[in-house]
């Protein structure tokens, strides 16, 4: 009799594969059904829902595009003024001493003493060092002794000459002997002259053992220590002296300005020059143009100019780099506005003027600039409000809202760039013309 009881056993490998395949098919079907329902819901909401989401993500971006047609564009402004303004040229210059001398030993010998302090001022003729004088004292004494010997011989020869002259006059001696004595006297006279020159030279060489300052100025570092043997051929000498009172500043200006500079020099009209530190924050010294170079640099189109500064406080050092400002001229009664307001584009050089909340493009011509301020002529008048910040988002006829600058913004732009200047950004104050900056925000 057959046993109908069913005994369960482990599932075969083929059965496992079929079961897993069925589960995967069911999962894919459920996923497709869920995605189709989600897409249908989004379509039912319409495109307005997507636009609303995009608008929310955009935050505060104005709907008017770049020029903000949905509302006025916030801008900062300055005020056009009518006043005098200096024509200035800014340049980089280097300090040079008015005179520089390398002090060298004129005689050889052992360095016995130094009488100067490194870096301290010295006077012309001041004793700086002493070379062992003993060999030169001996040479002087020898020359002096030779002179005394030959002078004695000369005196004796002259006495003999006088006696021979008496004897010849009495015809008691031959004339030939008289002539011989005359020749001996002349010979001894020449010897005495030679001895005197040798003595003078020995004394001069002895004086060279005392090394003195040829010019007044500031002493450099010593190049030899005590006990060393120094010679006139030493490459670095004993020390150098730089005359820094006055100090000279050499800088380059455009060759187009050369005629004006030379004319004022010829007319004995002083050209004021200022020297500023690297950051253009501190005025170091004030001086005047002294001369120009004799040739224009064809590579750069500039010519070197030398200015002299009294430098009484010694604040200018040779080879120091400074920012130089040359006042070339002064424009009378011109329109002055902030440099940041000047724009350049397809219309040419222009500014944006805010009139009753509307921007108007006004063309101008630049006369000169001192960095912070620019003198112009053109379609502006005193009192006009010109845009100094936010102009890149404006166009002629756009709406604008004038905002007040933060405290200290009037001096934040930084000046002192002159004809070569460019905008520096906030926080970089700099020298301006003697009239001071035309700070529109504070006027």
Architecture field, domain 133-208: Orthogonal Bundle (1.10)
CA-based R_g, the chain, Å: 47
pLDDT in tens, 303-352: 999 999 999 888 888 889 999 999 888 889 999 999 999 999 988 999 99
CATH of 91-98+241-328 given 3.40.630.30, 2.40.30.170, 1.20.140.10, 3.40.50.300: 2.40.30.170
Q: List residues bridging with 110 in a β-sheet.
A: 229
| pLDDT in the model for residue 351 | 94
Residues of the chain with pLDDT under 50: 1-9, 39-69, 406-443
The pLDDT assigned to 18 comes to 66
Helix (H) or strand (E) holding 31: helix 13-45
* CA 184, 185, 187, 188 torsion-angle sign: positive
pLDDT number for residue 58: 37
Where in the chain is CATH 1.10.287.470? 133-208
Alpha-carbon distance of 363 to 342, in angstroms, equals: 10
- Segment 74-109, tens digit of pLDDT: 999 999 999 998 888 889 999 998 889 999 999 999
CATH 2.40.420.20 assigned to domain 73-86+331-442? The reply is yes
In whole angstroms, what is the distance from residue 90 CA to residue 289 CA? 14
pLDDT at 256: 87
322: three-class secondary structure by DSSP: strand
Domain with CATH 2.40.420.20 in the chain: 73-86+331-442
Which residue, 276, 423, 431, 404, is CA-closest to 338? 423
**How far from 12 is each of 22, 196, 368, 422, CA to CA, in Å?**
16, 137, 98, 86
Whose tokens are 């056009």? That residue is 80
The pLDDT assigned to 412 comes to 35
Tell me, letter by letter, the H, E, C secondary structure of 345-383. ECCEEEEEEEECCEEEEEEEEEEEECCCEEEEEECCCCC
Beta bridge partners, 345, equal 348
- Sort 164 into a burial class: Cβ within 10 Å, 0-12 / 13-18 / 19+: buried
**In whole angstroms, what is the distance from residue 348 CA to residue 353 CA?**
15
- What pLDDT, on the 0 to 100 scale, is given for residue 310? 92
What single string gives the DSSP state of each residue in 70-122?
TSPEEEEEEE-EEEEEEEEEEEEEEEEEEEEEEE--SS-EEEEEE---TTSEE
DSSP string, 282-312: SEEEEEEEEEE-SS-BTTTTEEEEEEEE--T
407 sits in which H/E element: none
């Amino acid at each position: 009799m057959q046993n109908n009881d069913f005994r369960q056993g482990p599932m075969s490998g083929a059965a496992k594969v079929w079961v897993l395949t069925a589960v995967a098919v069911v999962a894919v079907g459920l996923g497709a059904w869920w995605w189709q329902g989600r897409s249908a819901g989004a379509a039912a909401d319409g495109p307005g829902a997507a636009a609303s989401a995009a608008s929310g993500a955009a935050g505060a971006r104005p709907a008017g595009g770049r020029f903000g047609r949905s509302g006025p564009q916030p801008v900062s402004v300055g005020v056009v003024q009518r006043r005098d303004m200096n024509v200035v040229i800014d340049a980089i210059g280097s300090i040079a001493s008015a005179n520089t001398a390398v002090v060298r030993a004129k005689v050889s010998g052992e360095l016995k003493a130094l009488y100067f302090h490194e870096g301290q001022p010295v006077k012309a003729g001041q004793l700086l060092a002493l070379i062992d004088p003993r060999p030169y004292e001996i040479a002087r004494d020898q020359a002096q002794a030779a002179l005394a010997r030959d002078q004695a011989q000369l005196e004796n020869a002259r006495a003999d000459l006088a006696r021979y002259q008496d004897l010849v006059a009495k015809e008691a001696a031959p004339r030939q002997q008289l002539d011989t004595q005359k020749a001996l006297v002349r010979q001894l006279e020449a010897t005495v002259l030679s001895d005197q020159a040798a003595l003078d030279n020995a004394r001069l060489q002895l004086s060279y053992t005392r090394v003195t300052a040829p010019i007044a100025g500031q002493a450099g570092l010593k190049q030899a220590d005590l006990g060393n043997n120094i010679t006139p051929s030493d490459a670095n000498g004993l020390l150098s002296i730089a005359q820094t009172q006055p100090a000279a500043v050499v800088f380059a200006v455009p060759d187009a300005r050369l005629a004006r500079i030379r004319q004022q020099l010829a007319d004995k009209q002083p050209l004021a020059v200022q020297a500023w530190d690297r950051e253009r924050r501190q005025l170091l010294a004030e001086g005047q143009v002294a001369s120009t170079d004799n040739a224009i640099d064809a590579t750069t189109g500039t010519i070197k100019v030398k200015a002299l500064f009294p430098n009484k406080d010694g604040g200018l050092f040779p080879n120091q780099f400074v920012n130089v400002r040359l006042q070339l001229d002064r424009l009378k009664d011109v329109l002055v506005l902030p440099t940041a307001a000047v724009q350049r584009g397809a219309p040419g050089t222009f500014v944006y003027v805010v009139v009753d909340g509307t921007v108007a493009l006004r063309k101008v011509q630049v006369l000169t600039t001192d960095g912070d301020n620019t003198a112009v002529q053109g379609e502006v008048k005193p009192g006009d409000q010109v845009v100094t910040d936010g102009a890149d988002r404006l166009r002629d006829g756009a709406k604008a809202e004038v905002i007040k600058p933060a405290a200290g913004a009037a001096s934040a732009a930084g000046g002192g760039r002159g004809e070569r200047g460019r905008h520096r950004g906030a926080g970089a104050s700099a020298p301006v013309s003697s009239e001071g900056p035309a700070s529109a925000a504070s006027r």
